[in-house]
Structure 1
Amino acid sequence: MPTAPHPQSTDELYQALKENDRRPYGRTRTVTAEELVDAAEQFADPVPLVHALLELQEAYTYGSEPRKSPVVFARLLTLFDEQPDVFDERLRHMLFWRFKWVAHALRQLPEIPLASLRQWLTEMRDRYEKADLGLQPYYGQAYVLAAHVGEDTTLAYELWASRTRTRLSDCEACEICERALYHLAAGDDERALSTWEPVLAGKESCQEEPARSVSHALLPLLRTGRADRARELHLAGYRSCRRNPSMSQEVGRHLEFCALTGNEARGLELLAENRSLFDEVDSPLDLLGFLTGVEVLLQRVEFLGRGELPVAGYAGRTWTVAGLRAEVRGRADDLAARFDARNGTTAHTDRRRARLDRAPLLDALELTLRPRSLDDVAPVALAAAPAARTAAAVPESLPELIARARALDEQGHPDAQACWARLRTLVVTRDYTHPDDPAVGPLVQLRADLLADEAGRAGEKDEFAVAADLYEEAAGLYEDAALPGHAALARASALLASAEIPAQGAADATEAKTAALTAAHASIVRLQEKTPGLVPYQEARLLRLRATALGMRLQTTGSEEHVAPVFAEADLLHAFATRHDVAGQISGALLLRASTYALSGDLPTAVTEIDAVVDRLQAHGPAWHLPRTLGLRGRLHLGLRDAQTAYGDLTEGLRLAADWPADAVDTSRLHGDLAEACMHLGRPDEALRHLTRSAEVDLRRGSRTDAFCSYSNAAQLTLDLGRVEDCIALLDSLLAEPDVAAGELDDRIVAQLRLTRARALHAGEDLKAATAEFVALAAESAGWDDDPGSHAMIAAETAVLLGESGEFGRAREAADQAIAAHARAPRYEQLSNCLRELARLQAQQQGADGLADARAFLADAGRIADEARAAEYEPHDRSLESALAYEHGRVNAYAGEYEDALAALEKALALLGEPGPEEDDRAGEWAECVRLAGAVEGIYLERPDPALTRLDAAVSRLTASGHTEETESLIALAARLRDEE
């Protein structure tokens, strides 16, 4: 089926060709190019057909379909021979350039005899000589063929490399790569890397570079001790070639790099992202390179004993690492043999064997901010975070194990978890026999114990409805076992969990939760009063649940009237626990008091209280309460803006947490708070490490929403630090997660991840990819009826990117969307910035032709400024009115309307006013406005005298105010104007 309307005129055809050129290489672009060739044949003029055939050959070449490229070129060559006048200088240049494309295509096909390859090079040489073109490009192709075949390349290299470049020579970047590969093949890593440097540094580039050079340079960089550089280039280089059929060999080399640096899990991640290449790569040579890289990775994973892991492979069946490796090995061996048979050498088999025989170059190189192991990609439920230390050994004897679990549980000891886990495993087995021992109690009691433990873990994950149901079920079983105290505890826990379930359909969520917690407290009090035979630890726990309910109510409302009841319950708990020596509840009561002072806003007293708790815990225990207590004290110091003290407490808390099983302490919270402390202390890189560690802990605990929020913050911080490729790599990894791809994660969190990625792409100067993502996000966010402000922001950013790409029609549409959303949820400053920037871009790119549309953007910005002033909005940056006047000046200057430009700039200067000594930001803005006014007046209006007067006066004022740095551009402009007089 056609992908676009059939062009009815040559103008429509050229427009369709232009639009197709914007598409990424692949089937859609190729099919459209084929249709456009058919359309071009209807016109009598052969020139459109030439353009269409050139577009089709490009689609085949970069879409990895080498069998079709020479056929299209044969038609072009016939047209040239029959109607040479059809080819102007540009088309003639493109035709002769593409002789090299055909030579490249023929090399990729083992069914083409070597004699035919040499015959084509002879044809190329004859054509170049007849056209009086230099032969350096021909000798370049002759060298590449020699290297491909595996012949001695010394002479071929000298014949090419010693010749002067011509207009038809490969670009500098491609030739640099070939020269570097020559030195690499000779075993000279240092010389190869030295040769590559202009490309690796980004000074030379083209369609395939630097991605191609980067992929080849990764291993030499490792061998010469430049691991950090290799890491940096891997991140940037991989992104440039992923999922691209014509760069499948490069993808294979990145997979090999992962395998040889201890990053097997990332390699499998990247393989999954590129699984389409198994079926889309039509070039046998490219496929051989890709499959060999895949096999290096799979071989390494299988060597590590993980051949059973699932892996992405050929479509139509599921694969394990071992199964896919066998399949890939067979296909790649066959391809190498076919090339060697064609070439009459063993070069391809030998090169393939050399890659497969390489030993790892590093045990571990942290490639991304999300280091993963093979366990992380295993097809099992996420494991709990690995214990910082192994819990105490559980008893072998079943009666001893049950008794131990209950004793530890009464204390609140973290090692109870291991005992309950072991018992849960035993009880579900088919041959489980419960001990006939009065001390152990009946099986129904044990089942209730296990349900209560499971409920507690559900509550820790905020699964309150699940927790409430499990506690209720446990309570019923305890009653069946004639244990009213245990039943009361379970039922009280169910009441508290139920109170935390978000109210559905409540008009006021805060009011509903407050009422639920008040009711839960009253019910727990009644439950405690009517339950006979409570032992001290049960009574203490019920008191703790009562106090907790009121503490949560205070946290929900922040109301002063809710403070005293919490203190009263905490004091009851403390008195009872002290009287009966329930150590864990004594510290719990003291912690609750400290937290209540904090919630009521009295942070100094809260710190004093918690200091006493820390002292008590250090002297009397329980020791497992210390990490959490230090964490709370650290947060209090953060509230008091004492980041250094907070850092010490949080670091010590994290260190002590390592003494206990991972689930015993909320290390995710400790890492998150440490990240905040590090940011206050000016240690952003350390903050980044703590953010990612926090996310990893949450992931292992199954708290995926919290994990992705932390990762989102880490990605934003990475972008703020200018580590663009790290940011993109992290987000690519997150967005590839199965639950994200399946739409199971909260859509707003995913949107935030994508938005940060789009901004990172923009910062990394990948304007095309950034614009595509922003356009998609703008379309999706248009449906966010509950959040029009976010849509306004996204649409505004989208408009600016479209403007940067010169697509001002689409930019206008996006800006109008932003304006409409802004009417529902104002975003004055963001929208004003967007409209002014669009005006500047249009005037800058189109000059006088774009002035009317640019002024329309500024008129909209003026209305936004009026709205902001009426709403008494205070901008965070400069005033919207002065910024608008300055932009009027720039826009008119770009369009050649210099009198209007000068008038607007003088208005901006009046609005800004002269900066005072302490106004550094405004001084820079004022100086730039003076500079532009001076340039317009002195250069474009040719009135240097008043311009110099303006500039000299501004320099004097700035100097007198101490803003000497801001005078430099003004002094330079004044000197230029005087030189031109």
Structure 2
Amino acid sequence: MPTAPHPQSTDELYQALKENDRRPYGRTRTVTAEELVDAAEQFAEPVPLVHALLELQEAYTYGSEPRKSPVVFARLLTLFDEQPDVFDDRLRHMLHWRFKWVGHALRQLPEIPLASLRQWLTEMRDRYEKAGLGLQPYYGQAYQLAAHVGEDTTLAYELWAGRTRTRLSDCEACEICERALYHLTAGDDERALRVWEPVLAGKESCQEEPARSLSYALLPLLRTGRADRARELHLTGYRGCRRNPSMSGEVGRHLEFCALTGNEARGLELLAENRNLFDEVASPLDQLDFLTGVEVLLQRVEGLGHGDLPAAGYPGRTWTVAGLRAEVRGRADDLAARFDARNGTTAHTDRRTSRLDRAPLLDALELTLRTRSLDDVAPPAPIAAPTVRTAATVPDELPELILHARELEEQGHPDAHVCWARLRALSAARDYTHPDDPAVGPLVQLRADLLADEAGRASAKDEHAEAVALHEEAAALYDDAGLPGHAALARACALLAGAELPAQGADGAEAKAAALTAAHASIVRLQEETPGLARDLEARLLRLRVTALALRLQTSGSEEHVAPVFAEVDLLHTFATRHDIAGQISGALLLRASTYAISGDLPAAVAEIGALLDRLKAHGPAWHLPRTLGLRGRLQLGLRDAQAAYADLTEGLRLAADWPADALDTTRLHGDLAEACMHLGRPDEALRHLTRSAELDLRRGSRTDAFCTYSNAAQLSLDLGRIEDSIALLDSLLAEPDVTAGELDDRLVAQLRLTRARALHAGEDLKAATAEFVALAAESADWKDDPGSHAMIAAETAVLLGESGEFGRAREAADQAIAAHAQDPRYEQLSSCLRELARLQTQQQGPDGLTDALAFLADAGRIADEARAAGYEGQGRSLDTALAYEHGRVNAYAGESEEALAALEKALGLLGEPGPQDARAGEWAECVRLAGAVEGIYLERPAAALTRLDAAVSHLTALGHTEDTEPLISLAARLRDEE
């Protein structure tokens, strides 16, 4: 099936070739190139055919199809021999350049005899000599063949590297890589890295560089103690080669790097992301390189005892690590043997063996913000008791275990979860026999206990509907067991969970408050109507009563709901104190402090918690300390005492480590600590706490919360300039199975993709960023409930398209943004977008772009009028001021200097002269500078410009804004020099 309309003229053909050139290398681009060659043959004109064949050879070369590239080149060479005049200087250059592509393609095919490779080199030499071209590129090919075969390369290297480069030499970046690899093969890591530095530093690049060099440099960097640099280049380099069939060897080296740095889990993640390479790499040499890197990873994972983990491999079947490793080993061994048979050496087998025999270079190197172990990627294990602290808390004998679990549950002890988990596993076994012990009670009671524990965990994860069902089922079983008090407690828990179910409609908060009022009344009745309640059960019912009213206060914020909470707290505290129930005493005091906080009296809340902490340290329970410190830390944040908050939260986190991770809300502690760190100017520490918080949410199954926190971490990482960290984190999240399957909230996924697109833009990957923005803009157009977000996304998309010079598409995206803005205004963002598009168009196109640029500014003017009419006040300078300034810049770029100066003077009038503490001083100075440049340079009025500049410098200096005077002084000096 054709991938594009069939060109009907040579102009349409050239346009189609141009559009295809923008596509990423891969099957779509290759198939389109094949179709365009067929189309070119219909025109009976050789030049369009030559261009189409060149595009097709490029698609084959970079699409990893080496068998087809030489065939296309043969057609080009025949055309050149038959009609040399068809080839202008540019086409002749491209033709001779691509002799190297063919040499590279032939080396990748073990079925091509070595004699044929040497014959091709002779052909290349003869052609170059006939054309009067320098032979350095030929000697470069001769050296690469010697290195490939495994011959002594000393002479071949000198014959190539010692020659002067020519116009047909490989680019500087590629030659640097070859020279570095020569030293690397000789075992000189330091010299190789010195040679590589211009590429590693981003000073030299090309189609395949620096991604190729980065992949080779990773292990030398580790061996020479530069682990941080290796980490940085792994993140950058992997992004440059992932999923790319023509760079499968580079992907393999990144997998190997993961395996040798304790990042086996990340390696498996990257392998899954690149599963297409098992099927799409048609180059045997690239296959060998890729598969060897895969085997290094799989061998390491299997050696660590995880051979049964799932692994992404060849399509058509499900693989484990061990099974895939065996398959990969067989295929790679065969490929190495075929190359060695062709070359008459053992070089490829020896290189494979050397890679597979490498020992890990580091036990652990934190590669990404999302650190994962092989245990994190293992399939869920059968429910069993956690391993932490179980020796002291879980009795071996079943009767003792059941009684101990109930005792801990009565106390609210965190280790109750450990015991219930163990009992859940034991009772689910087919051979389970319940103890015949009156103290233990019947099996139905244990079943009810387990359901109640499960319901409590569901509530903790805000899965309220499930919690209601589980509590009600537990209540029925307690009735069957003859335990009305336990049944009443379970029903009370169900009532509270039911009241927390999301309310529908605009008055959701009011409806929820009413539901909590009704739940409280029902719990009171349950308590009154249940005779013979045990003290612990009655205390827990009283606690539920307080909780219902506290949640109502939190929902409504109504002052009239404050006193009822305090009244219930007093009842609970009095009852718990009379019966010496320590956990409920501290619970009552904590609820009292929370009520003060919710009602807005933060100092009283902090004082209450101070007294509670003193009590907890003296009388316990100790497991209440982390939560209490966490609450005081949050209150200190509310009081803007970040240092005190940091101290409390850090101590809370330290104490929480003494208890099972899933029993205390350490997730919240990490999240609050991140906020405290941001207030204290410790963003890197905040980033660690955010990622830790998200990790804990993932482990307890709260995936939406986890992804939200990770999204915040990715944005913070981007704000800190850690662009590659941000991209790597987002790539990892977006590859999660529930994301790819469309099971996660689509708006949350869109936010992750939006942050990634912005990170790509910040990382100067304009092509990838634009593609993602365009996709997001198309999807968000259907968000009928959120046109404002679509306006924002479409506006950003338009700017990126403008940066790429695609102003037609940018205009379309801007029009979408304007239409969405009409439904949900985004004055600031849209005005900024339109002004930026105007600037970009005249900056890139000069006078030719002025008309379209002024149309953008006219739209921005209408936005400013709307904002003024709506009483909108933006941050910083007004939209009118910004618009006047942009008129100045646009006209200056277009050569309309008088209009530019008039617009800039209008902007200066709108800004007004800055005062002593005026934040606008920098903007005013820049406007003066541009006006001075237009007036003094373009309009050739240096005297007037100097008067303007000198006056501005004097004014700013008198106000103390000396840092803003430097550009003005510099421009004035230039104008004086030119006088």
Q: Which interval holds the TM-score relative to the shorter structure?
A: over 0.9
Specify the alignment match of 1:926 in structure 2. 924
**What is the CA deviation profile of residues 517-561 of structure 1, one whole-angstrom value per residue up to 9, with x for unaligned ones?**
000000011111111001111111111100100000000011101
**What is the CA deviation profile of residues 283-312 of structure 1, one whole-angstrom value per residue up to 9, with x for unaligned ones?**
111111000001111111111111111100
Alpha-carbon contact 1:472-1:491 (below 8 Å) kept: yes
Q: In structure 1, list runs of 5 or more residues that go unmatched.
A: none
> How many Å separate the matches in 1 of 2:453 and 2:87?
81
Amino acid paired to 1:836: R
Alpha-carbon contact 2:241-2:248 (below 8 Å) kept: yes
Deviation of 1:431 after TM superposition, in Å, equals 2.2
Assess, with a 3 A threshold, how the Cα gap between structure 1 residues 787 and 83 changes in structure 2: closer, same or farther.
same
Alpha-carbon contact 2:383-2:424 (below 8 Å) kept: no
Amino acid paired to 2:678: M
Assess, with a 3 A threshold, how the Cα gap between structure 1 residues 122 and 972 changes in structure 2: closer, same or farther.
same
Amino acid paired to 1:95: L
Specify the alignment match of 2:28 in structure 1. 28
**What is the CA deviation profile of residues 189-230 of structure 1, one whole-angstrom value per residue up to 9, with x for unaligned ones?**
000000000000000000000000011000000000000000
> How many Å separate the matches in 1 of 2:366 and 2:384?
22
RMSD over aligned Cα, in angstroms?
A: 1.2
> How many Å separate the matches in 1 of 2:384 and 2:197?
45
Deviation of 1:496 after TM superposition, in Å, equals 0.3
**What is the CA deviation profile of residues 550-592 of structure 1, one whole-angstrom value per residue up to 9, with x for unaligned ones?**
0000000111010000000000100111011111110011111
Deviation of 1:382 after TM superposition, in Å, equals 10
Specify the alignment match of 1:723 in structure 2. 722
Assess, with a 3 A threshold, how the Cα gap between structure 1 residues 385 and 724 changes in structure 2: closer, same or farther.
farther
Higher mean displacement: 408-417 or 717-726: 408-417
Alpha-carbon contact 2:288-2:335 (below 8 Å) kept: yes
Amino acid paired to 1:959: T
Alpha-carbon contact 2:385-2:421 (below 8 Å) kept: no
Specify the alignment match of 1:792 in structure 2. 791
**What is the CA deviation profile of residues 594-622 of structure 1, one whole-angstrom value per residue up to 9, with x for unaligned ones?**
00000010000000001011000000001
SS of equivalent to 1:663 = coil
Specify the alignment match of 1:971 in structure 2. 969
Specify the alignment match of 1:123 in structure 2. 123
User: Are 1:955 and 2:953 matched, yes or no?
Assistant: yes
Alpha-carbon contact 2:307-2:321 (below 8 Å) kept: yes
Within 5 Å, give how 1:481-880 maps onto structure 2. 481-503=481-503, 505-880=504-879
Higher mean displacement: 796-805 or 954-963: 954-963
**What is the CA deviation profile of residues 403-423 of structure 1, one whole-angstrom value per residue up to 9, with x for unaligned ones?**
111111111111111221122
> How many Å separate the matches in 1 of 2:88 and 2:566?
90
> How many Å separate the matches in 2 of 1:721 and 1:812?
32
Specify the alignment match of 1:185 in structure 2. 185
SS of equivalent to 1:662 = coil
> How many Å separate the matches in 1 of 2:896 and 2:161?
53
2:942 paired residue among 941, 944, 954: 944
Assess, with a 3 A threshold, how the Cα gap between structure 1 residues 384 and 366 changes in structure 2: closer, same or farther.
farther
Deviation of 1:393 after TM superposition, in Å, equals 3.4
SS of equivalent to 1:664 = coil
Deviation of 1:388 after TM superposition, in Å, equals 6.0
Specify the alignment match of 1:281 in structure 2. 281
Specify the alignment match of 1:400 in structure 2. 400
Specify the alignment match of 1:102 in structure 2. 102
Alpha-carbon contact 2:384-2:421 (below 8 Å) kept: no
Amino acid paired to 2:371: P
Amino acid paired to 2:555: T
> How many Å separate the matches in 2 of 1:679 and 1:243?
37
Assess, with a 3 A threshold, how the Cα gap between structure 1 residues 384 and 97 changes in structure 2: closer, same or farther.
farther
Assess, with a 3 A threshold, how the Cα gap between structure 1 residues 388 and 854 changes in structure 2: closer, same or farther.
farther
Alpha-carbon contact 1:387-1:660 (below 8 Å) kept: no
SS of equivalent to 2:466 = helix
Deviation of 1:907 after TM superposition, in Å, equals 0.3
Deviation of 1:430 after TM superposition, in Å, equals 2.0
> How many Å separate the matches in 2 of 1:832 and 1:877?
13
Specify the alignment match of 1:89 in structure 2. 89
Amino acid paired to 2:736: E
Specify the alignment match of 1:426 in structure 2. 426
> How many Å separate the matches in 2 of 1:506 and 1:952?
64
Deviation of 1:379 after TM superposition, in Å, equals 2.3
Deviation of 1:397 after TM superposition, in Å, equals 2.0
Alpha-carbon contact 1:17-1:36 (below 8 Å) kept: yes
Amino acid paired to 1:866: D
Deviation of 1:391 after TM superposition, in Å, equals 6.5
**What is the CA deviation profile of residues 110-163 of structure 1, one whole-angstrom value per residue up to 9, with x for unaligned ones?**
111111111111111111111111111111111111101111101110111111
Deviation of 1:389 after TM superposition, in Å, equals 4.4
> How many Å separate the matches in 2 of 1:507 and 1:859?
39
**What is the CA deviation profile of residues 796-847 of structure 1, one whole-angstrom value per residue up to 9, with x for unaligned ones?**
1001000001111111111111111111111110111000000000111111
> How many Å separate the matches in 2 of 1:382 and 1:190?
50
**What is the CA deviation profile of residues 97-122 of structure 1, one whole-angstrom value per residue up to 9, with x for unaligned ones?**
10100110111111111111111111
Deviation of 1:45 after TM superposition, in Å, equals 2.2
Deviation of 1:930 after TM superposition, in Å, equals 0.9
Higher mean displacement: 776-785 or 727-736: 776-785
Q: Report 1 or 2 for greater relative contact order, CA contacts < 8 Å, sequence distance ≥ 6.
A: 1
Alpha-carbon contact 1:384-1:700 (below 8 Å) kept: no
Deviation of 1:877 after TM superposition, in Å, equals 2.5
Deviation of 1:432 after TM superposition, in Å, equals 2.0
**What is the CA deviation profile of residues 443-489 of structure 1, one whole-angstrom value per residue up to 9, with x for unaligned ones?**
22121111111111111111111111111111111112221111111
Alpha-carbon contact 1:218-1:233 (below 8 Å) kept: yes
**What is the CA deviation profile of residues 339-373 of structure 1, one whole-angstrom value per residue up to 9, with x for unaligned ones?**
11111111111111100111111111110000111
Alpha-carbon contact 1:688-1:714 (below 8 Å) kept: yes
Alpha-carbon contact 1:392-1:415 (below 8 Å) kept: no
Higher mean displacement: 82-91 or 59-68: 82-91
Specify the alignment match of 1:5 in structure 2. 5
> How many Å separate the matches in 1 of 2:405 and 2:222?
52
Within 5 Å, give how 1:27-176 maps onto structure 2. 27-176=27-176
Higher mean displacement: 958-967 or 514-523: 958-967
Higher mean displacement: 381-390 or 905-914: 381-390
Amino acid paired to 1:306: H
Assess, with a 3 A threshold, how the Cα gap between structure 1 residues 871 and 382 changes in structure 2: closer, same or farther.
farther
SS of equivalent to 1:3 = coil
Alpha-carbon contact 2:792-2:829 (below 8 Å) kept: yes
> How many Å separate the matches in 1 of 2:279 and 2:383?
34
> How many Å separate the matches in 1 of 2:185 and 2:444?
73
Alignment coverage as a number of residue pairs: 979
> How many Å separate the matches in 2 of 1:273 and 1:661?
34
Deviation of 1:40 after TM superposition, in Å, equals 0.7
**What is the CA deviation profile of residues 725-769 of structure 1, one whole-angstrom value per residue up to 9, with x for unaligned ones?**
000000000000000110111111111100000000000000000
TM-score, scaled relative to structure 2: 0.99
> How many Å separate the matches in 1 of 2:533 and 2:954?
85
Deviation of 1:387 after TM superposition, in Å, equals 6.7
Assess, with a 3 A threshold, how the Cα gap between structure 1 residues 851 and 389 changes in structure 2: closer, same or farther.
farther
Amino acid paired to 1:902: L
Alpha-carbon contact 1:64-1:281 (below 8 Å) kept: yes
Deviation of 1:390 after TM superposition, in Å, equals 4.2
> How many Å separate the matches in 2 of 1:557 and 1:161?
78
Alpha-carbon contact 2:670-2:689 (below 8 Å) kept: yes
> How many Å separate the matches in 1 of 2:388 and 2:163?
64
> How many Å separate the matches in 2 of 1:413 and 1:5?
70
Alpha-carbon contact 2:385-2:422 (below 8 Å) kept: no
